[in-house]
Every structure is written in structure tokens, then in C-alpha cells.
């Protein structure tokens, strides 16, 4: 078996259908299997997979076990010499899977291989980024990378200056399309399930890098990523969850001083933006005022979460 494609799903039935159809239609010339791990969906996703894609292996969980834990379930039964972690809100284009397998075969030093990721309008979606650190978090907080995207200093954390058009060693391969060599997994272990959502691929890539492996970007393969398929309805909660997960990474891999400073910096990120949205909630249309008030409340919750809520090293359910 060349590759095991693992798709974690939660309540994304319709886009999951398109994802699976694209995998089956666009993958040829290699032996592969598809494994769907359903995290307690209530929208009929599991039934759809069972009836419309009988060739797919389905693992059904009663509740949401998180992204890392669900992928680990898939990897434990996977038979491929590579595994591909693929988001349910993606569409595979033009043989992307066999292209990345061929690329990985040519680069046995790579633990992880990523590919070009496009928005639905086929514009480039910047993927791959640097490991969290205090300098990178500070640059990200300032939003200067948005004003100066081609600047290598201001855009360093998200690599905004790079057009994703050449083979390059990167620090983090984005988890929406993450091809991983089985030998590397056997070397460093599965994903850390203490990360419930977000930063689990960052932690994994860091562990691969520390063990001497490379993480590479392959520009010759492309997918479409819709983004936020399973989290769109809880976007505000996920905004806070993302930053807490980054702090989990800092707590695990950086010094206590760096972790404490990162926590303060993240709270300042929310604190400096809250007054602006409070003012915005006082003017404009009723709809815009309501949206601004909701954003102000989100940032207020963010301040309290970063300053007061404990960040034990496990994923909050």
C-alpha cells in the first residue's frame, strides 16, 4: 500500500462528500486506501460515507475526540508506507496525491511533505509557517505583515513574502494536507493528543525536526481548501482555542519565562483591540453595531482566558 488517506470529519457531510469524490477521482497510478474518522457528527456524515463510499474505511466516534486523537485512530489502522492527513473541507486537484508521493519518494529525508493550497477562487492560500516563538508571536500580533507582506522581517512568521512556487524546507507544514512518512512516525511517535485542536501539526513538525528529519514543501501539487468547515459555526470560540493551543506549544517546548511572556503578549493582543470594537459598537447600522459588540465581547473573553484561565497541558473539550 503506497498511501493511506486519513480524513477527520465532524458535521461536514456535504463538503466531505466532495472531498472523498475528489480523492477517488484524482488519484491513480498508486495503491491507496481512504480512512474517515468521524468525531461524533450529528448531520448524517457517517451514514453518507457508509452508503455512498463503501470502499472507504469508516471509524465512528461517539463524541468529538479532537483532531490529533482522531488522526491517531486512523494511523493505527493505516497500511500505507505514507499517511496523508487531509481536511474534510478540501478538494484534491490534478493528481495531487500521487504527485506528492512521487516527490516524497525522491526525498526520503523528508518526514512531512506539503503542497500548494488554493482558495475556492484559485488564488493562493499561504500555508507553512515558522514555529511559535516570542519574536514570531510579537510580529504576528502587530499585524505589520498585512501592511508589508513582501517584507521578509515583518512577514517572517507566516512567510508572507514567499509565493509557494519552489521546493523549500519549511518548519511547519499546514495540517490541511500533510503527507507523512511511516518511518518518521515510527521514529517520533503519533500526534500528541493533549492538543485538542490547532497546533498539533506544529508540535509534530517540531518533533520531526528535532529528530533530524526535514519538512518539505512540494509546489507541483495543489488542492483547494475551503477553510473552517467544521469550526465555522463556532468561529469565536475557535479564535481563542487557536491562541490557547499556541500557548500549549510554548509551554511544552519553550522555557517557563518564554511561556509566561507569550501568555502576557497574547492577552495584550486582545486588550489593545477591545476598545476599538467597543467604540465601533456605538455607531453605524444596527447590524454593524451588533457585530462590533460581539467582537468586543470576544476580545474581552480572550483577555480573561489568557490571563486568568489555566492552560494545563491537555486539550480542553
pLDDT by residue for the chain (317 residues), tens only, comes to: 999 999 999 999 999 999 999 999 999 999 999 999 999 999 999 999 999 999 999 999 999 999 999 999 999 999 999 999 999 999 999 999 999 999 999 999 999 999 999 999 999 999 999 999 999 999 888 888 889 999 999 999 999 999 999 999 999 999 999 999 999 999 999 999 999 889 999 999 999 999 999 999 999 999 999 986 545 546 777 889 899 999 999 999 999 999 999 999 999 999 999 999 999 999 999 999 999 999 999 999 999 989 887 776 543 33
**Half-sphere exposure of residue 237: CA atoms within 13 angstroms, side-chain side:** 8
C-alpha to C-alpha distances, 24 to 18, 38, 53, 94, 267, nearest whole angstrom: 10, 19, 10, 12, 45
Phi (first) and psi of residue 2, to 5 degrees: -70, -50
Looking at residue 22, what is its pLDDT?
A: 98
Assess contact for 182 and 79: CB atoms under 8 A.
no
Q: What is the DSSP letter of 132?
A: P
This prediction has a pTM of 0.91
Looking at residue 312, what is its pLDDT?
A: 62
Looking at residue 314, what is its pLDDT?
A: 45
Domain 3-128+164-225 coded CATH 3.90.550.10: yes
As annotated, the residues of the chain forming the CATH 3.90.550.10 domain(s) are 3-128+164-225
Q: Is 116 helix (H, G, I), strand (E, B) or coil?
A: strand
Looking at residue 208, what is its pLDDT?
A: 98
- Residue 150 is placed in which grid cell? 513582501
Assess contact for 127 and 114: CB atoms under 8 A.
yes
Integer distance in angstroms from the first to the last C-alpha of the chain?
Answer: 35
CA dihedral 79→82→87→88, nearest 10 degrees, is: -40
In this structure, the chain runs to a length of 317
Phi (first) and psi of residue 15, to 5 degrees: -75, -30
Assess contact for 175 and 83: CB atoms under 8 A.
no
Assess contact for 183 and 82: CB atoms under 8 A.
no
What sign has the CA pseudo-torsion 115, 248, 5, 230? negative
Amino acid at each position: 500500500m503506497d498511501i493511506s488517506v486519513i480524513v477527520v470529519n465532524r458535521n461536514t457531510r456535504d463538503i466531505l462528500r466532495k472531498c472523498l469524490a475528489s480523492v477517488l477521482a484524482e488519484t491513480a497510478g498508486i495503491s491507496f486506501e481512504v480512512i474517515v474518522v468521524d468525531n461524533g457528527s450529528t448531520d448524517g456524515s457517517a451514514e453518507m460515507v457508509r452508503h455512498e463510499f463503501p470502499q472507504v474505511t469508516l471509524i465512528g466516534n461517539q463524541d468529538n475526540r479532537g483532531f490529533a486523537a482522531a488522526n491517531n485512530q486512523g494511523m493505527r489502522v493505516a497500511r500505507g508506507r505514507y499517511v496523508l492527513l487531509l481536511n474534510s473541507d478540501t478538494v484534491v486537484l490534478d493528481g495531487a496525491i500521487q504527485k506528492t508521493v512521487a516527490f516524497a519518494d525522491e526525498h526520503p529525508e523528508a518526514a512531512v511533505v506539503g503542497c500548494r493550497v488554493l482558495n475556492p477562487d484559485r488564488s493562493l492560500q499561504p500555508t507553512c509557517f515558522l514555529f511559535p516563538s516570542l519574536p514570531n508571536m510579537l510580529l504576528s500580533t502587530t499585524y505589520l505583515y498585512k501592511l508589508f507582506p513582501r517584507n521578509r522581517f515583518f512577514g517572517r512568521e507566516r512567510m508572507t513574502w514567499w509565493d509557494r512556487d519552489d521546493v523549500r524546507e519549511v518548519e511547519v507544514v499546514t495540517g490541511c494536507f500533510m503527507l507523512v512518512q511511516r518511518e518518521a512516525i515510527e521514529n517520533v511517535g503519533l500526534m500528541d493528543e493533549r492538543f485538542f485542536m490547532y497546533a498539533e501539526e506544529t508540535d509534530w513538525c517540531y518533533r520531526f525536526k528535532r529528530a533530524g528529519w526535514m519538512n518539505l514543501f512540494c509546489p507541483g501539487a495543489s488542492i483547494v481548501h475551503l477553510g473552517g468547515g467544521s469550526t465555522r459555526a463556532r468561529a469565536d470560540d475557535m479564535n481563542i482555542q487557536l491562541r490557547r493551543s499556541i500557548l500549549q506549544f510554548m509551554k511544552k517546548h519553550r522555557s517557563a519565562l518564554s511561556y509566561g511572556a507569550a501568555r502576557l503578549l497574547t492577552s495584550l493582543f486582545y486588550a489593545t483591540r477591545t476598545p476599538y470594537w467597543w467604540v465601533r459598537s456605538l455607531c453605524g447600522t444596527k447590524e454593524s453595531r451588533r457585530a462590533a459588540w460581539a467582537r468586543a465581547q470576544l476580545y474581552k473573553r480572550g483577555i480573561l482566558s489568557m490571563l486568568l484561565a489555566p492552560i494545563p497541558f491537555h486539550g480542553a473539550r
